[in-house]
Amino acid sequence: MKKIETSAAPAAIGPYSQGIRIGNVVYCSGQIPVDPATGTVAGTAIAEQAEQSCKNVGAVLAAGGASYEQVVKTTCFLADMTDFPIFNSVYEKYFISCPARSCVAVKALPKGVLCEVEAIAYTEEQ
């Protein structure tokens, strides 16, 4: 088991890691739309926040030796399900392989953000 750490994604805000790699599987913790360069939430609209969340997932995947194309499952959390169509339009630009997915509305997310994305990837390389 290898802990994944990268400055290209926001640091964990609790007692967890950005991701874990076990063999050929990379588990990415949920990524909220915090810009790792500034430590602030990226924008106020769902499109901006979805974009940053997806970029953060990509950074954790890369640090773990995986890519968007190798993602087999995502779980997406939205603060408001009316944001679903806009969230989807951003999400589909990144997860072009159409992995399995769950997307649910939640009462609240850390830092009052509008979305969070987590991913599991499988790669042939060790």
Q: Find the angle CA(5)-CA(7)-CA(9) to the nearest 5 degrees.
A: 85
For 13, the token pair is 């805000």
DSSP 81: G
Distances in whole angstroms, Cα of residue 35 to Cα of each of 28, 59, 107, 115, 126: 17, 12, 23, 14, 29
Kindly state the helix (H) or strand (E) to which residue 87 belongs, with its residue range: helix 84-94
Residues classed as catalytic: 103
